[in-house]
Amino acid sequence: MDPFQMIHIDKAATEHMYIQIYKSIADLIRQGQIKSNVKLPPIRSLAEQLGVNNVTIVKAYDELEKEGYVHKKIGSGTYVKPMDHHGGAREPFEDVGRGLEQMDRGQIHIHSDMISFSSATPTPDLFPVEDFKNLLIEILDRDAGSVFGYQESQGYYPLRESLVSYLQQYGICTSVNHVQIITGAQQGIDVISKAFVEYGDAVIVEYPTYTGAIATFKSRGAKIIEIPILPDGMDMDKLEEKIQEYKPKLIYTMPNFQNPTGYSYNSQKKKQLLELAYKYNVLIVEDDYLSDLNFNGYDAATLKSMDMQDVTIYIKSFSKVFMPGLRLGFLVIPSKLHPQILAAKHASDISTSGLNQRAFDLYLRKGIWKHHIQFMQRIYEERFEIMVRCLNEYIIPLGVCCSMPQGGLNFWLCLPEGFSSNELYRKCEENNLLILPGSIFSSNQKESPCFRLSIAAVYPDQIKLGIKKLSEILERMIGKKESSNIHPYFPIL
Ligand SMILES: Cc1ncc(COP(=O)(O)O)c(C=O)c1O
């Protein structure tokens, strides 16, 4: 379909038509529907198509040019630019690497003989299917048809009650009124964005960060400000500088076992982050997708539990330790923000599946959850330890850097200067090994020497085999370093 046929305007709206056209085209460019270097339609023909004046189109194209989406070639027309860093514009994915564009949408094609360090999702053999089957039957016998009616948008009340008690172990004291059930953490990010992020608003994220969050903020037309994350959290001076400069609507952060780096904030930085939020009146969005997997006794306190002024929206996902296909998570929301969140949730999908909410409620109430989480912790801890050993033995001596995480599923490794992880990705793929290059985790897919390895979907033997294989590929790529050149490994305690 011609992407320009997808431009929509609402002539009854109060927003100027040229702004609507500008936004519509900018969205299509960001979504990749209109590719780099494509020529925009001539002014007169687009004006006719949309039933507006030529001047309206001229102004829309001027706005696109001002914001860095297009450039004009005299005597030729207006062309889509490869995107720059700050406008959220980017080089097309095809230029970055074969197959990477699929990863942007969380989809990678994996052959059965591949070892995949790319997926951070548990494999189905770890799902508690039998237990859940019994609960589903019990729920259907108990609640019959009401399971399949529309549910309360805020979430099934008894589940919210169960979650309030569940949260106590994380030091979060809240009430059922502040819990909002969501259809997975991804929806949580989306709902929060819908509620609070307007076109052009600045949003601060860690760099690198979770791809799904970047995609959501971009879809709202946000200006994404990236602050590099260090092994103990963001640089707080830089953060303050950027807050002053951009006056962001929110700061999106994963303080424990960050995705993709596995880094965790130290307690002092957690406090500083909250203090900056209080000082500048910025909302914090805390994405807690993994704090259950704490292997070294690190203090995985959540920001929400430390927040004395109620500025944090806490997002909890169970996807990494339970069953991602259940599409279930929840938010804990500052009281004054609840009406907007509820409206955005209702506009998204009305309510989360009643069957899943009720089954998960019973799962918590019957204490089966506790056994399952202990089971997952054992499985992952074994893989975690093997991974640390293998990296220390085979990879670190090659001059590849890694600040070992304290828990979670992800390891972030950085090649020596001058090497690109996109190139490494391609070499690995040729050898049936999958890694995730760092370019995936930035707003403009810029090349990165770093890459993510995840232990979620690899068995212990595959870790040993895979890391050995990776070391051979790396050896060929960067050459073995003399021991004097070895980068030492500093655990962050
Ligand atoms: C940091 C982070 N947040 C949110 C999500 C999405 O989780 P859910 O499956 O609950 O939507 C993911 C999934 O990978 C993630 O890594």
Distance of CA 370 to the CA centre of its chain: 26
Report the separation in Å between the CA atom of 227 and the middle of ligand 1, taken as the mean of its atom positions.
20
**Residue whose CB lies within 8 A of the most ligand 1 atoms, among 317, 345, 348, for a mutation test:** 317
Q: State whether the beta carbon of 258 lies less than 6 angstroms from ligand 1.
A: no
CA 290 to ligand 1 center in whole angstroms: 9
Task: From 259, 323, 328, give the residue whose CB has the most ligand 1 atoms within 8 Å, as the site to mutate.
Answer: 259
Please report, for residues 94, 421, 437, 474, the alpha-carbon distance to residue 427 in angstroms, rounded to integers and kept in the order given. 17, 10, 12, 9
Question: Lowest-pLDDT range, 154-163, 202-211, 417-426, 471-480?
Answer: 471-480
Q: What tens digit of pLDDT does each residue of 121-166 get?
A: 998 999 999 999 999 999 999 999 999 999 999 999 999 999 999 9
Nearest atom in ligand 1 to 210's CA: 1
pLDDT grade for 290, boundaries at 50, 70 and 90: confident
pLDDT surpasses 90 at 12? no
Name the closest-CA residue to atom 7, ligand 1. Answer: 185
pLDDT of amino acid 70: 86
For the CA atoms of 321, 267, 170, 405, what is the dihedral angle to 10 degrees? 20
The alpha carbon of 182 and the centre of ligand 1 are apart by a number of angstroms equal to 12
Tens digit of pLDDT for each residue in 107-125? 555 666 789 999 999 989 9
Would you say the CB of residue 319 lies under 6 angstroms from ligand 1?
yes
pLDDT digits (tens, 9 = 90+) for 368-401: 999 999 999 999 999 999 999 999 999 999 999 9
The tokens describing 267, both together, are: 């307690």
User: Hey, which residues does 180 pair with through a beta bridge?
Assistant: 331
pLDDT tens by residue, 425-446 = 999 999 999 999 999 999 988 8
Tell me how far apart the 2 most distant CA atoms of the chain are, in Å.
72
Across the beta sheet with 202-207, the strand order is 179-182, 329-332, 312-317, 283-288, 250-253, 202-207, 223-230, 233-234
pLDDT for position 368: 94
Determine the residue of 319, 320, 440 to mutate for testing ligand 1's pocket, defined as the one with the most ligand atoms within 8 A of the Cβ atom: 319
**Chain centre to alpha carbon of residue 146:** 34
89's tokens: 């514009």
Distance 178 CA to ligand 1 centre (A): 21
Phi, psi (degrees; rounded to nearest 5) at 436: -115, 120
Ranges 32-36, 207-211, 311-315: which has the least confidence:
32-36
Q: What is the pLDDT of residue 490?
A: 43
Q: Is the CB of 287 under 6 A from ligand 1?
A: yes
- What are the beta bridge partners of residue 433? 115
Residue 193 DSSP SS3: helix
Range name among 88-102, 158-172, 179-193, 258-272 with the lowest pLDDT average: 88-102
- ∠ CA 438-435-461, rounded to 5°: 145
Strand partners, 207: 228
Residue 102: the pLDDT is 47
Answer with the residue of higher pLDDT: 484 or 107.
107
Which pLDDT belongs to residue 160? Answer: 98
- What local confidence, expressed as pLDDT, does residue 370 receive? 92
pLDDT at 108: 59
- Tokens 């033995």 locate to 393
Looking at residue 89, its pLDDT comes to 38
Give the model's pLDDT for residue 491. Answer: 38
Check pocket membership of 329 for ligand 1, CB cut-off 6 A. yes
Q: Which pLDDT belongs to residue 488?
A: 47
Mutate to test the pocket of ligand 1, among 289, 323, 349 (most ligand atoms within 8 A of CB): 289
Domains and CATH numbers, the chain: 3-80 (1.10.10.10), 97-124+371-485 (3.90.1150.10), 129-366 (3.40.640.10)
Helices of type H across 281-337: 303-306
Query: Burial code of 140-174, b = ≥16 C-beta within 10 A, e = fewer?
Result: eeeeeeebeeebebbbbeebbbbbbebbeebebeb
Lowest mean pLDDT among 32-46, 105-119, 269-283, 446-460: 105-119
- C-beta of residue 410 within 8 angstroms of C-beta of residue 262: yes
Which residue intervals of 100-168 are DSSP H helices?
100-103, 129-143, 157-168
- Residue ranges of alpha helices (H) inside 413-487 are 421-430, 460-478
Q: What is the pLDDT of residue 109?
A: 59
Q: Give yes or no for residue 208 CB within 6 A of ligand 1.
A: no
Is the distance from the beta carbon of residue 210 to the nearest atom of ligand 1 less than 6 Å? yes
